Structures are given as structure tokens and as C-alpha cells.
Structure 1
Amino acid sequence: MNPRRRTLLLGAAAAALARPALASDWPSRPIRLVVPFAAGGPTDFIARLLATPLSQALGQPVVIENRPGASGNLGAQNVLDGEADGYTLLHNTVGMQAVNPLMYPQARFQPARDFVPIATTAAMPNVLVVHPARLPVKSLADLVRLGKNSANGLTYATFGAGTSPHIYGALLQKAAGFRAVAVPYKGSSPALTDVMAGQVDFVFDSFTTCIGQIQGGKLRPLAITASQRSPLLPDVPTLKEAGYPDVDLKYWFSLQAPAQTPKAVVERLRAAAASAVNDPGYIAALRARGAEPMATRPAELVAFVRNDAQRWTSVARGLGIRPE
């Protein structure tokens, strides 16, 4: 035998022995679901709702582990640093998939290359909100008019460069032709505090984290980033209805596994996740907080994640989104 061929065959055999064999009884122990953001946010909220029906479908506990940092990159890297055996999963966002590679070019991984999608889990609209007394506007048209007539422009809160509040705010300025300065915060809570204190003029916040203040009259909603109005806010128009269809990018979440996960495990995970995402209790709990159930057929899943992430990447590049 050719010495080079013999070396290659021996190397392949050694690599195969080094990989853990797929147990026929998989899963035989709990599944760790990493949420790469702090507890209480929308990514965490959806993951915790999903954990119950997913656990029932798999016959094993699904344990949530929060590992925040670097806009989700620390948690993603933690998943990749473990075994690709189906026992550690990631709850991802379109922002992590599409915008993080622009924001963190030094990252050791590439989402599209190093992860495989298991299922889309939900879509979460953002709501454009202002303080009802501190900013004299009652509609998006009023806000745009105020922005155009303001000598210094408006201000809007973000959760950092490249986050959905930043992208939505930048898109609205571009589409409507007014100027607003982005003011970065570490999350929804401090951003909403300053909107309600009049320190910043507006914010695109996630539905789940601001619906309570809206219903309590502390915030005024002007528009939502969704394809149709929310039953929780039936009088609030979508951005498309308000005349800005190009601002309506769907912000979705997905369950993902390391790309080297055995194909048989990926297929079983996809079947279990499909069952969980279509669970009536899960869907009802999402809708009660303004989220949208989002089930994508396995045959269309990889193409959807790739194509929609590329759309977000194109938008972020067009807006000049860069690391701060």
C-alpha cells in the first residue's frame, strides 16, 4: 500500500475512534440548553417556555444555562467548546447569526459554518415607544415630524451597536429622513428607565419587556415591527401600515447545535423541536406575551436561516453598522 494512503487511513481511523460513539438510547441524560444572554430577556423567556415541551418530546430534562456576554458570542463559544453529541444546544437569535460576525470579526467561530439549525422557535416584535408626557407625540408621523424639525435631532436608546433596537432605529431614520443619535445601554431595563425619565426620546424595545409599562400607561407605543397588529395592542399600527415597510425585519430565534453533531441526533432533535414548537401550551404562552410562534419545516430550515440572516447582514452593512 502507498505509504501516504496508509497514513491517511490510519489517521481517519484514529479520528473515528476519538469521537464518542452515538448511543442507541440517545438521549440518556439531561440536555443543556445554553441561553447566551442574561435571564429575563426575550431569548431566555422563549427558551424557558420551550424547555417544557422539548423535555417531554425527548424524554429527558432540558436544563437552561445562562451564559451572557459579547452579544451572545460567549455562550455560543461555550457550546462549541463542548462535545458535539446533542447534549448541549444553543438558543440563537438572528442578530447573533447575521450581525455578530460584523461586530466581532475576531471571534473564533462563524455561526453559519459552526452551527446547524435545529428549529426556529419564535419571532418577537419590537415596539417603538416614547414617554407619553415627556415627548409630545401621539403617532409615528408626529415623531418623524418632530425629528425633522428638531435642530439637534432626536435621541434613541439601543442595547449596543448592531442590536435590533439600533438597526430598527437606524432604518427608520434612513426611511423617514430625520436624524437621531444612538445612545447605547446594557439592556432593556436601563434603556426604558431613561426613556421614562426623558433622558432619551424613544426606543425600539422587545414586546415582552415593555408590554407591562405600556399597559400601565408609562409608555406610549407608536408602531410595532410585525407583519400584523398584535391582539395585545390592537390600536397600534405596524411599521408597514405607518408607511415604512422596509423597516419591518422579522427578529427570530432558533435552536442550534454544533455543526459536527451526528446527523442521526440532529434529525431526532429536529423532530422533537418540531413537536415542541407546535405545542398548544407553548404557543398560547408566547402569544400571551406578544411573541409569535414560528415553525419552519425541516426541509426549508437551513435555507431560511441562511437567506434571512444574509438579508439582515446586508441591511447592517448598508447602515454602516460597525464595532463600537
Structure 2
Amino acid sequence: MTLSRRRLLAHAAAVSTLPALAPAWADGPASPKTLRILVGFPPGGGTDAIGRLLAEKLREPLGMTVVVENRPGAGGQIAALALKSAPADGSTLFLTHDHTISILPQVVKNAGFDPARDFAAAGGFATFVNGLAVSPGTPANSFQEFVDWVKTKQGGKSAVGIPAPASTPEFLVKLLGQRYGLDLVSAPYRGSAPMMGDMLGNQIPAGIASVQDFIENHRAGKLRMLAVLGGKRQAALPDVPTFAELGLKGFEDTPYYGFYAPAGTPEAALARFSQALAQVVAQPAVREQLTTMGLSVGFMTPAQLSERERAYTKVWTRIIQESGFTPQ
């Protein structure tokens, strides 16, 4: 049995023997009465919607007030720095996906934080995929039609919106351009919500972001998703093909969502939050809501989230290096 496997089993055993949740998730006479969940993107986007759903559901098992605090900007960097400076007393968590933890430290010369040193995993709950969508005024109903439209009607050049610079969507834009002989130019935004606004207004013809950012407008017929990453089609989008089906291999590894606490947060507090998160994610109504948002729901202990983070970071380290990207 490997060391990492032994650690996972030991953590699972420890969590299973924990007493019932205390009224607050940190120990001690000065336990916080309110838990702040930092979100690094603006209100109205997919991560914000997920954070508000989970905040509402976590209040009962944690026995405390749980609020979402948006700290948008720089692909989650502002929120990450706020977490780093927060007291390690159980009063602050950071809800984030792969970009801020696995990608941003590799593409920014001085991110100001080191996830391995400054943060402690508190638990994960889902994986997801990114996808390409087109605006209502873009005359393409399939990915190949989009490629043909760019080549024949746009002179081979098109802007593609992305929620943050130097993100997974930006590298995908670059690789799609190389693969299909297109001059695709990334247009970075401060989150998916403002990007979506420009797409709905036909200010930009296409965008790449997480499925949960696009899915409601796709269902409403306001945007059209043409392809998604991942090794299989998404349950919430059975008619949307994967890029692998279309011939673009190497993007089957899926990003993740998780909660992080400041380094030094007591292990008992992390375990209690993890237990509360497991209870919430196990609720059928919550699972259904998250699945409807385009997530593949699956609880991860802090140790499992750390393992998932390391594996994903390893894959994207190779992709970023092979792309020739220079940290900015």
C-alpha cells in the first residue's frame, strides 16, 4: 500500500469517528460565529452560484452563519491573497476551482501565494469541464461550422472570450487555433459574468469557460455550446460532443472545485468542515442542483482534494511548458 493510500485511509477513519458536529466548526472559547466563503469571481457567474447554494446548505450542519464574499479580479488571485492574510481560526474559507490553485501560480511571476505553503485543503465536492460556446449572432450550430465560419467569413481570425488571462481557456484558445489553422485571439475578462454579457449582446462571437458558466443560457437558447473537454459527454449536455470526439486529444483530465483554509487552521476544524460538506453533498436535492449546473458531483476529503490538485497541476505544468508560455 502506498503512503498516499495509507494517508487517505487514515483520514477517512478519523473523519468517520468524529463526534457529532459542534455548533461551530472551529474549537475553543473564541470560536467564530460566522464563516466567510471567499469567491474570486463576480456575482452572477457559475462559481458564485455554486458558492451561494453551498453556503445556504452548510449553515445547518455547521450551526453558524455562512456568507459569501466576492473578491473578484486577477483570476481569483485577489481572493487567494485575502485567504492568505486571513486568521487561521476557522472564520474564512476560499471556494475555488483549478485555475487559482493549479494554473495561476505557474503563469504569474509573483502570484503572492504558494498553495502548498499558504493554504490547507478543507474538502472538495465536484469536477467539471470547460467548453466552447458561441453567441446568438454567430451562425454556427456545430464546432466544424464555427471553424468554417471563421475561415470563410472572418478571414481566418476571431476573438474568443475567456474568464481570466493565462487560464486553461486561454491555452485552449491557442491550441485550437494551432490545430485548425485559425488566428484565434483570446479576449480576457474579469470573470465569466461580464464575458457572458458581451456574448449575449453579440459583442464577441465566442467564449470558452466552464460548463456551469454557460449551461443556463445554453438551455434557454441564448447561447450555443459546441464542444466540451473531458473524456466523455456531460450528463447535463448529452448532445454536446467532446473535443476528443472531434479529434483534439490530451484534454481529458478534469478540473476540480474545492474549499481551502489558511495554513495553520486546526486539523479538527478542517475535519469538521469536511464532514459537514460531505453531509451537504450527499443530499439528493443538492446533488441534483449541482449536476444541473454542469458539475460531476463527488465528495473529496482534504487529502483526496490535495491528491486531485497535485495530479491536475502535473498535467497542466506539461501543457503550459510545451506551449512556450512565459510567465507574466
- TM-score bracket for this pair, using the shorter chain length: 0.7 to 0.9
Q: Which residue of 1 aligns with 2:272?
A: 268
Once the two structures are TM-superposed, the CA of residue 131 in structure 1 deviates from its matched residue by 3.5
SS in 2 for 1:233: coil
Gaps of 5+ in 1: 1-21
- Which of 113, 120, 125 is the equivalent residue of 1:116? 120
C-alpha distance 179-89 of structure 1, shift in aligned 2 (>3 A): same
Query: Which residue pairs with 1:7 in the alignment?
Result: none
Q: Do 1:130 and 1:196's aligned partners in 2 also have CA atoms closer than 8 Å?
A: no
Contact 2:227 2:243 in 1 (8 A): yes
Query: Is residue 169 of structure 1 aligned with residue 173 of structure 2?
Result: yes
Q: Which amino acid aligns with 1:121?
A: F
Q: 1:323 to 1:200 in 2, by over 3 A?
A: farther
Structure number with bigger Rg:
1
- Distance (Å, rounded) in 2 between the aligned partners of 1:303 and 1:168: 24
Report the equivalent of 1:13. none
Contact preservation (8 Å) 1:168, 1:247: no
Mapped to 1, the partners of 2:216 and 2:83 lie a distance apart of 33
What does 1:124-143 align with in structure 2 at a 5 Å threshold? 124-131=128-135, 133-135=137-139, 137-143=140-146
The 3-state SS of whatever aligns with 2:33 is coil
Superimposed CA distance per residue, residues 45-72 of structure 1 (whole angstroms, 9 cap, x where no aligned partner): 1111212332222222222111222221
Aligned equivalent of 1:240, options 224, 241, 244: 244
Q: Whole-Å Cα distance in 1 between the matches of residues 227 and 29 of structure 2?
A: 49
CA contact (8 A) 2:44 2:193 kept: no
**Contact map agreement 1:172 1:247 (CA 8 A) in 2:** no
How far the C-alpha of 1:282 sits from its partner, in A, is 1.6
CA drift of 1:94 comes to 0.7
Find out whether 1:34 has 2:35 as its counterpart: no
Shift of 1:283: 0.9
CA contact (8 A) 1:115 1:259 kept: yes
Distance 2:175 2:76 in 1: 23
Q: Identity across aligned pairs (percent)?
A: 32
Aligned to 1:141, what secondary structure does the other structure show? helix
Instruction: Tell me which of 176, 181, 206 is aligned to 1:202.
Output: 206
Question: Which residue number in structure 1 is paired with residue 68 of structure 2?
Answer: 64
Inter-CA distance 26–321: structure 2 relative to 1 (3 Å threshold):
farther
Structure 2 residue aligned with 1:254: 258
CA distance in 1, matches of 2:297, 2:89: 27
Deviates more, 1:125-134 or 1:105-114: 125-134
Given the superposition, is the C-alpha separation of residues 114 and 284 from structure 1 closer, same or farther in structure 2, using an over 3 Å criterion? same
Corresponding pairs, count = 302
Check whether the contact 2:32–2:91 (CA below 8 A) recurs between aligned residues: no
Task: Summarize deviations over 1:94-153 as a string: whole Å, max 9, x none.
Answer: 100122113332233211221111111223333311245533x33223334455666443
| C-alpha deviation, 1:214, in angstroms | 2.1
State the match for 2:313 in structure 1. Answer: 309
Alpha-carbon spacing, 1:310–1:29, altered in 2? closer, same or farther (3 Å):
same
1:17-73 CA-partner distances (Å, limit 9, x unpaired):
xxxxx7457856222211122222222211112123322222222221112222212
Supply the distance in 1 between the matched residues of 2:63 and 2:201 (Cα, whole angstroms): 48
> For residues 86 and 205 of structure 2, what CA distance do their matches in structure 1 show?
43
**SS state at 1:162 partner:** coil
Partner of 1:46: helix, strand, or coil?
A: helix
Deviations 1:142-197 (A, max 9, x none): 33445566644332112332233313322333444543122223333443444455
Once the two structures are TM-superposed, the CA of residue 297 in structure 1 deviates from its matched residue by 4.2
Query: Given residue 228 of structure 2, which amino acid in structure 1 is its aligned partner?
Result: I
Deviation per CA, 1:191-243: give whole Å up to 9, x if none.
34444555543211333333333233332221122443334432211222222
- Checking the alignment, whether the CA contact within 8 Å between 1:32 and 1:89 is kept in structure 2 is yes
Q: CA RMSD in A?
A: 2.7
C-alpha distance in 2 between matches for 1:90 and 1:147: 39
Q: Is the 8 A contact 1:36 1:66 kept in 2?
A: yes
TM-score normalised to structure 1 length: 0.81
Residue 185 (structure 1) aligned to one of 181, 189, 197:
189
Alpha-carbon spacing, 1:176–1:294, altered in 2? closer, same or farther (3 Å): farther
Distance in 2 separating the partners of 1:285 and 1:91: 17
Aligned counterparts of 2:231 and 2:42: Cα–Cα separation in 1: 28
1:219 aligned to which of 213, 216, 223: 223
Distance 1:181 1:80 in 2: 33
CA contact (8 A) 2:52 2:68 kept: yes
Structure-2 residue corresponding to 1:228: 232
- Is the 1:33–1:64 Cα contact (8 Å) retained in structure 2? yes
